[in-house]
Structure 1
Amino acid sequence: MEKPDTNASKDQDHCQLSEKYKQIYLPLTYSLIFILGLPLNGIVLWLCWRQTKPWSGATIYLVNLVVTDLLYVLTLPFLLVTYVLGDSWPFGELSCRLVRFLFYTNLYGGILLLACISVDRFLGVCHPLRSLPYRTRWHAQLGATTTWALVLLQLLPTLAFSHTDYINGKVICYDMTSPGKFDQYYAYSMVVMLSGFVFPSLVILTCHFLMIRSLTKPQETLTRTGKVARAKSIRTILLVCGLFVISFLPFHITRSFYLMVHFLSSQDCQLLTAASIAHKIWRPLVSMNSCLNPILYFLSGVNNGVRLLKKLRQNKVDEHPAGAPGRLPRALEIWVLPR
């Protein structure tokens, strides 16, 4: 929920910024995320639960990623009802703080878990033997627990910044914070962006770059099939990087621009309008990762998940001998299996 952004309400009153578009755009995007995200993440969680335990390290990271997505998706009905009521928040103070908190928990928890998955994949591809003592279930559990601890620690202040207020005859839920706390919120947001997005992004992109460099090294003994599989693995890695950048970078750029414009109390109406629209357009789009994560990382990033899909098609697979068309694609095996 974006309104009210009363951090610079005087600027908006002066410029008469129109936000009617969001009454259609935001409900549509949030409805789409809910309709897709709930069943997709639910199916992945169910399949992981059904598989033979103990879980692998990759599955542990995936389950935690799915949990963050589900927690956020379950808050979307609150926002949809609020838009139907014309930005009025009828759910009380506690739910207001919790919905805001869970949005950022999904956002930064998801990024940190993707960083953990990237490091795990990098070690498996580039250091398959030396990394065996470190790519264990215990280390994965430690990594996931540490991720949750870091995310909760850095996001606790959002519970204080977000709250309800009574404005223009109705109760509203601040998306960021009230005008009196905006300077503190601006400084806090910049720190969270660095620790929760910039640093993990560097880790993710570096790991994927090193994996591509390892896979592109000349290998004279590599067969034609192996070369094709390696090329497909490289394309998968590039897809992961591309989707990550598209999902998260525009949001953080537009959000930083939006916060900076209001922090500087700009009186430029065109600038205020551009900052407001850009932020409100990208805010729900960043949540689309809740739908992309189960598809991308279930199909191309977790070995046990791929094996589960193979098991569901067991009748068809049994009809083909090893290496025949019914076999699990070797490209996926190269990308997901420890080596």
Structure 2
Amino acid sequence: MPIHCFDQSISLPSVDENHNNTDYTLCRYDENDWIFTLLPVYILIISVLGIILNVFVLMIYWLHKTACNVAEIYLSNLAAAHLFLMSSLPFWAVNVQKRYDWNLSETLCKLVPFSISMNADCSIYILVLVSIDRYLTLVHPLTHGRMRSPFYAKLACVVVWAVCFLLNVPVLIYREVEHYPEKNVSRCFLSYSDQTDKVVSILNVILKFIIPIFIMSFCTLKIIQAVRSRLRERFSTQGKEQKATTLILAVLLAFLICWVPFHVFKILDLLSRYNIVGGCEFRLGWFQQIFIFLAFFNSVLNPILYVCVGRNFRRKVKETFSQISNRRKSTFSLLTTCANLSRSVKTENATS
């Protein structure tokens, strides 16, 4: 039975007992591997940055005087998924630092991977919604205009959260802690059979990579064609939509850069387990370990893109801080007026 770090089927080379000794000798890693020292520090850094930056994004959308439009509803849900994901990573940083010796409760063994996997899935499918929204806006602006309302955007987000929750229920059911007395360690792993694990891995690749990438790629190509067509026609009446589209394309590109390497190695690992391609399955597992945390850096990168690329977001930031400043000034003015009135009343009472 293979032991897994994540729901994404990342094998632990130190405890996987289904491989022959030859493979283990060829692919063995040093016990003092740098992955156990540098990776936890990296995870903690991106966790802190991700929490701060995504809280900032959510506060701007929440405090701004105007309601969110359709694109902003999707981006705020994306920030929420990133925030929950980043909040769960410190637990896994501790687990990596302890060489995957799980010292926490079995409840956390279920909840932490569930939160990581579910919110990663939510971020992927919310990006699918974002790309579909941009596609409808630019390619079919008239025929599907009614579908682009805040109500339908919120409903779509609720459906995505619900579906991603259901997809990850098996993590809550099959995650468990098992103690290995001969090594004096406890592992948090998915208790699938080897055959079930392979089926789940194939479904994960299809549902969490191939289908979303196909939809996003199709929509992105159509969006780029529509933008070029409008530029050729000098159609500038949709300047606001153009700015939003630039931000969305940057977010989609960042997603591809961060997530594709992990899924490529995951597919190679799956093909290796079926003996379709040769290679070291342990080494592929470690590459997955590294690239999954590169993928999580996407949660830090998106808020930075909002500020650097999103003109509308920068405007909202300025307006929000202006609102807060004006409220403070009005509150201070009110307190000063009350204090002056109180002094004048006391003075009149004293003189009378």
TM-score, reference length from structure 1: 0.78
Equivalent residue number for residue 319 of structure 2:
311
User: Structure 1 residues 82 and 106, CA, compared in 2 at 3 Å: closer, same or farther?
Assistant: same
- After TM superposition, the structure 1 = structure 2 runs for residues 262-281 of structure 1, keeping only pairs within 5 Å, are 262=273, 264=275, 271-281=280-290
Deviates more, 1:108-117 or 1:78-87: 78-87
Residue 310 of structure 1 and its aligned partner are, at CA, apart by 4.1
- After TM superposition, the structure 1 = structure 2 runs for residues 186-335 of structure 1, keeping only pairs within 5 Å, are 186-217=198-229, 222=234, 239-262=250-273, 264=275, 271-297=280-306, 300=309, 303=312, 305-312=313-320
Residue pair 2:46, 2:86 contacting (<8 A) in 1 also: yes
- Aligned equivalents of 1:242 and 1:156: distance in 2? 30
Write the letter of the residue equivalent to 1:279: Q
- Aligned equivalents of 2:161 and 2:241: distance in 1? 34
Residue pair 2:102, 2:188 contacting (<8 A) in 1 also: yes
- Aligned equivalents of 2:11 and 2:169: distance in 1? 22
Residue pair 2:12, 2:282 contacting (<8 A) in 1 also: no
Matched, 1:60 2:68: no
- Aligned equivalents of 1:83 and 1:36: distance in 2? 19
Matched, 1:119 2:132: yes
- Aligned equivalents of 2:317 and 2:56: distance in 1? 11
Equivalent residue number for residue 334 of structure 2:
none
- Aligned equivalents of 1:44 and 1:161: distance in 2? 35
Residue 237 of structure 1 and its aligned partner are, at CA, apart by 6.2
Q: Render the CA deviation track for 1:214-266: whole Å, top value 9, x for unaligned.
A: 1112766629x99x999998876664443222112111111222234345599
- Aligned equivalents of 1:106 and 1:187: distance in 2? 22
Residue pair 1:30, 1:284 contacting (<8 A) in 2 also: yes
- Aligned equivalents of 1:92 and 1:23: distance in 2? 21
Higher relative contact order (CA 8 A, sep 6+): 1
Write the letter of the residue equivalent to 1:284: F
Residue 89 of structure 1 and its aligned partner are, at CA, apart by 1.2
Residue 26 of structure 1 and its aligned partner are, at CA, apart by 1.7
Residue pair 2:134, 2:245 contacting (<8 A) in 1 also: no
**Structure 2 unaligned runs (5+)?**
324-352
- After TM superposition, the structure 1 = structure 2 runs for residues 110-149 of structure 1, keeping only pairs within 5 Å, are 110-149=123-162
Equivalent residue number for residue 35 of structure 2:
22
- After TM superposition, the structure 1 = structure 2 runs for residues 6-45 of structure 1, keeping only pairs within 5 Å, are 6-8=15-17, 10-11=19-20, 13-15=24-26, 17-18=28-29, 20-45=33-58
Residue 39 of structure 1 and its aligned partner are, at CA, apart by 0.6
Equivalent residue number for residue 185 of structure 1:
197
Residue pair 1:208, 1:237 contacting (<8 A) in 2 also: no
User: Structure 1 residues 210 and 277, CA, compared in 2 at 3 Å: closer, same or farther?
Assistant: same
Equivalent residue number for residue 340 of structure 2:
none
User: Structure 1 residues 128 and 186, CA, compared in 2 at 3 Å: closer, same or farther?
Assistant: same
- Aligned equivalents of 2:53 and 2:85: distance in 1? 13
Residue pair 2:177, 2:186 contacting (<8 A) in 1 also: yes
Residue pair 2:109, 2:176 contacting (<8 A) in 1 also: yes
RMSD over aligned CA atoms reads 3.3
User: Structure 1 residues 133 and 306, CA, compared in 2 at 3 Å: closer, same or farther?
Assistant: farther
- Aligned equivalents of 1:138 and 1:302: distance in 2? 24
- Aligned equivalents of 2:153 and 2:311: distance in 1? 13
Write the letter of the residue equivalent to 1:205: S
> Pick from 147, 155, 173: which aligns with 2:188?
173
TM-score, reference length from structure 2: 0.76
- Aligned equivalents of 2:71 and 2:79: distance in 1? 12
**Structure 1 unaligned runs (5+)?**
316-339
Write the letter of the residue equivalent to 1:21: W
Matched, 1:159 2:172: yes
Per the alignment, in what secondary structure is the counterpart of residue 188 of structure 1?
helix
Identity %: 25
Residue 77 of structure 1 and its aligned partner are, at CA, apart by 1.8
- Aligned equivalents of 1:37 and 1:298: distance in 2? 14
- Aligned equivalents of 2:206 and 2:78: distance in 1? 21
User: Structure 1 residues 233 and 134, CA, compared in 2 at 3 Å: closer, same or farther?
Assistant: closer
Residue pair 2:118, 2:165 contacting (<8 A) in 1 also: yes
Larger Rg: 2
Equivalent residue number for residue 51 of structure 1:
64
User: Structure 1 residues 260 and 103, CA, compared in 2 at 3 Å: closer, same or farther?
Assistant: farther
Per the alignment, in what secondary structure is the counterpart of residue 173 of structure 1?
strand
User: Structure 1 residues 75 and 111, CA, compared in 2 at 3 Å: closer, same or farther?
Assistant: same
Per the alignment, in what secondary structure is the counterpart of residue 165 of structure 1?
strand
The alignment of Structure 1 onto Structure 2 pairs a total of residues equal to: 307
